[in-house]
Structure 1
Amino acid sequence: MSFRMPPEWAPHERTWMAWPGPNPTFSNDEELADARAAWASVARAVRRFEPVTMVHGPGQGESARELLGPDVELVERQLDDAWMRDIGPTFVTDGRELAAVDWTFNGWGAQDWARWEHDSEIAREVADLAGVPALSSSLVNEGGAIHVDGEGTVLLTETVQLGAGRNAGWTREQVEAEIHAKLGTTRAIWLPRGLTGDYPPYGFGTLGHVDIVAAFARPGVVVAHSQPDPAHPDHEVSKEIIGLLNAQTDARGRRLEVVEVPAPTVLEADGHWADYSYINHYLCNDGVVLCAFDDPRDETAAGIFRRLFPERTVTLVDARTIFSGGGGIHCITQQQPRV
C-alpha cells in the first residue's frame, strides 16, 4: 500500500509547534513577547484535546515553559522562525506505518526577509523525534500550501507551487505528479492566487497559501473565505475563488459544496489590507481551534464551524498577533496522525 496524507479531521497522535525566537519576523522584545503569548495561547487550547510538542531554540526552554505550563512537551533544536505548518514535515501513512514528507523549504520563495538555514532541516528533525522515516522531495512546498480531503483531492495555488521563487522551470504536470506521489492524491484543484495581504508589499506573506483561502471540512465540502465589503480588494479575489470552487469536482467525481465564511469586518491592519481569515483554523481531536479577531463576525464564524463539526468543541483564540507575523493558527500547528 502506498503512503497518503490523512485529512486533518482524522485522529491525531499529537500536534507539533515551534517557539518564536528573535528573528526579522519578531524584530524587538515587545513583538517577541506578544508572539510568544499568542503561540502559547494556541498551544494551551490544542493541549485540551491532544498532546503538544513545542520545538524551541537553544536557551529558550525556560521562557517557553513559563508560558506553556507543565503539560506541553519541549524539545530543543536550532530554529530560524516559528511556522511549524510550513517548516515541519507533512505526515503520511500507508495504514500501518507513518512517514514524513520533507519538502524543500526556501523561505516561502526565497523572500528577502526570510531566513531558513535551520528551518530547512526541521522537517527531518521532527521526523527523527517522531521516530518515522523522512521522504525527501525536491519540490519547494510548505504545509500551508496544500489541503487534502483524504479521498484523493488536494487544493493548490498557482502563485505558490508554480511561482518562480519556488519551482522555476517546473510545469503544472510535474508539480501535480510530485504532489500526488507524496500525498497519495489523484486530483489537484488549482486556485489562481491567495489573499491580497499575502503578497508584497504587505509584510511577511507566503505569496498565496491556500490554508487562508479554502480548506476541506469533509469530503465534498470546502470552507472558503468570503470578503463581503467591495472596498477590500479581496472582495473580487474571493468571489473568483468561490466561483471556481463551485464549478469543481473532487477525485470521487462529486461537485464541491462550498460553505462561505465571511471575513472579519476590519479592512486594514498593520497599515495595509487585512488578510484576517477564519479559514486558517486547526482541527484537533474533538476540537476546532478557530482564529478570533475581537470582531463582530467572530461568533458568526464560530456558528458556521459548530454546524460543520457538531461533535467538536469550537475554541476561539485571538489570532491578531499571529497574523501580524504573516500567518494564523493553522500556520503554527502541524498534526501527526494516529496510525
Structure 2
Amino acid sequence: MTYRMPPEWAPHERTWMAWPGPNPTFSNDEELAGARAAWASVARAVRRFEPVTMVHGPGQGESARELLGPDIELVERALDDAWMRDIGPTFVTDGRELAAVDWVFNGWGAQEWARWEHDSKIARQVADLAGAPALSSTLVNEGGAIHVDGEGTVLLTETVQLGEGRNPGWTREQVEAEIHAKLGTTKAIWLPRGLTGDYPPYGFGTLGHVDIVAAFARPGVVVAHSQPDPAHPDHEVSKEIIGLLNAQTDARGRRLEVVEVPAPTVLEADGHWADYSYINHYLCNDGVVLCAFDDPRDEVAAGIFRRLFPERTVTLVDARTIFSGGGGIHCITQQQPRV
C-alpha cells in the first residue's frame, strides 16, 4: 500500500488546531490572552471555508468556546503548546483511505524552553480522532519542516532534519529514504537554512523550518521569502535560497519557477531581527489565509497570492502575536485531506 501526502491546495476534510494554554511561550496572562485572540482569528478565518477542530487542554474549553463561537468543534486532550502543524500528524492517503504519519516530536530539537511530554503524543490522538491509522516514524520531524508539491517533490532544510538536536547520526540519504517512504515523494530539495530570527538567541525558533522560507504554490511553482533590505541578515539568506531554488528541477524534471514575495518593511520585532514572512500562509478550501503585519507590503503580498490563486479568496489576518510566539498561520494549522 503506497501512501502520499496530498499538496495543501488539494481539497480538505477539515483543519486541526491547538488552543494556547499557559506555558513558557505564553508566560503571563496578557500574553496568553493575546495568543488566544490571535489563534481564534485564524480559526474563524479558516472556518469560513471548511470545518475546524480545536484541541484544547483540560478545563480550557470554556475560554475557547467564548472566543471561537459555536461552529468550531472542540476536543479536550492534554497539551504542552499550540503549534498543531508541528505536533499534529502529517495526513497521507492511498487514494481510498486516510492515514497519519506520527513523526517523533522532541520540542524542535530538544530546545531548553520547549515542553513536549503531551505534545509528543498528540499526533496519534488526532489520528485516532480522525479515524486514521497512525504510521510511526523514527525520524524527528515536524509538519512545518516539510512542503510537498503532490507530484513527488519535497522541500527540506539541512539545519532541521540533519540538525544535531533532532537526528544525530542520520545521513542525508537516510533522512530522504524515510521522508520518501512516509510522504510518497521521490525527490528532496534541500535548503541550507531558515531565516535568522528562527535560531537562537532569538526567542522561540524552530531552527530553520521551511514553511517560513519557501512553499509550493502549484507543481513547478514555489513562493520564496525575499528580504530586499541589505541591513537585514536575511537579505543574504534569502538571496542564497532563491538562487538555489532557481537552479532546481522538481521530481518530474521541471525547472522551478520562483515567485519572490518581499518581506514586510519592519526589520526588528520583539527586540531582535524580525522573521515576519508572508510565505507562512495556509491554503484551505477556496481560501488563502495570509499573514498580515500592519505593513505597507501586506497588500503587495495579497496581490501576489491573488494572482497565484485567482479562484480563492485571500484573507489577511494579523499574525504579529503568533510570530512573537515563534511561528505563523501555517504553523498553527494542519490540514486533513479529503479522501
Please give the per-residue CA displacement for 1:14-64, whole angstroms capped at 9, x wherever unaligned: 000000000000000000000000000000000000000000000000000
| CA distances 1:254-291 after superposition (whole Å, capped 9, x unpaired) | 00000000000000000000000000000000000000
Offset of residue 85 of structure 1: 0.0
Deviations 1:96-126 (A, max 9, x none): 0000000000000000000000000000000
Flag as ranges the 4+ runs of structure 1 deviating above 3 A.
none
Quote the Cα distance in structure 2 between the aligned partners of 1:71 and 1:83: 21
Counterparts of 1:77 and 1:122 in 2: how far apart (Å)? 8
Per-residue deviation, 1:337: 0.1
Residue by residue, what CA displacement relative to the aligned partner does 1:276-334 show, whole Å, maximum 9, x if unpaired?
Answer: 00000000000000000000000000000000000000000000000000000000000
Structure 1 residue 79: Cα displacement: 0.0
How many Å apart are 1:219 and its aligned residue?
0.1
Secondary structure of the residue aligned to 2:314 is: strand
| Residue aligned with 1:55, SS | strand
Residue 67 of structure 1 aligns to a residue whose secondary structure is: helix
Q: Which runs of 5+ in 2 are unaligned?
A: none
Q: Secondary structure at the match of 2:260?
A: strand
Q: Give the structure 2 partner of residue 73 of structure 1.
A: 73
- Which whole-Å CA distance do the structure 1 matches of 2:307 and 2:212 have between them? 20
- 3-state DSSP class of the match of 1:189? strand
Q: How far has the Cα of 1:164 moved from its partner?
A: 0.1
The aligned length equals 339
Q: Distance in 1 between matches of 2:2 and 2:274?
A: 41
User: 1:182-239: CA deviations, max 9, x gaps?
Assistant: 0000000000000000000000000000000000000000000000000000000000
For residue 305 of structure 1, give the secondary structure of its aligned residue in structure 2: helix
Per-residue deviation, 1:13:
0.1
Give the alignment's TM-score, normalised by structure 1.
1.00
Question: Counterparts of 1:152 and 1:130 in 2: how far apart (Å)?
Answer: 25
Q: Which runs of 5+ in 1 are unaligned?
A: none
Give SS of 2:82's match: coil
TM alignment of 1:124-163, pairs within 5 A? 124-163=124-163
Say which SS state the counterpart of residue 169 (structure 2) adopts.
coil
1: CA distance, partners of 2:236 / 2:130: 43
Distance in 2 of aligned mates of 1:121 and 1:45: 27
Q: In structure 1, the residue corresponding to 2:166 is in which secondary structure?
A: helix
Counterpart-to-counterpart distance in 1, 2:90 and 2:304? 27
Instruction: Indicate the residue corresponding to 1:32 in structure 2.
Output: 32
3-state SS of 2:14 partner: strand
Q: Give the corresponding residue for 1:226.
A: 226
SS of 1:166 mapped into structure 2: coil
CA distance in structure 1 between the aligned counterparts of 2:195 and 2:223, rounded to whole angstroms: 15
Other-structure match for 1:204: 204
* Structure 1 Cα separation of the partners of residues 92 and 328 of structure 2: 23
Look up the SS of the partner of 2:327 in the other structure: coil
- SS for the counterpart of 1:164 is coil
Cα deviation, residue 335, structure 1: 0.1
Deviation, 1:129, is 0.3
Question: What SS does the aligned partner of 1:167 have?
Answer: coil
Question: Structure 2: how far apart are the matches of 1:263 and 1:49?
Answer: 27
For residue 173 of structure 1, report the CA deviation from its aligned partner.
0.1
CA distance in 2, matches of 1:47, 1:154: 28
User: Does the residue aligned with 1:26 lie in a helix, a strand or coil?
Assistant: coil
CA distance in 1, matches of 2:225, 2:56: 32
Q: Percent identity?
A: 96
- Alignment partners' CA distance in 2, 1:128 and 1:279: 30
User: 2:32, 2:203 → 1: CA distance?
Assistant: 16
Q: CA shift at 1:88, angstroms?
A: 0.0
Alpha-carbon distance in structure 1 between the residues aligned to 2:219 and 2:75: 35
Matches of 1:185 and 1:136, distance apart in 2: 17
> Displacement, 1:166?
0.0
Q: CA deviation at 1:87?
A: 0.0
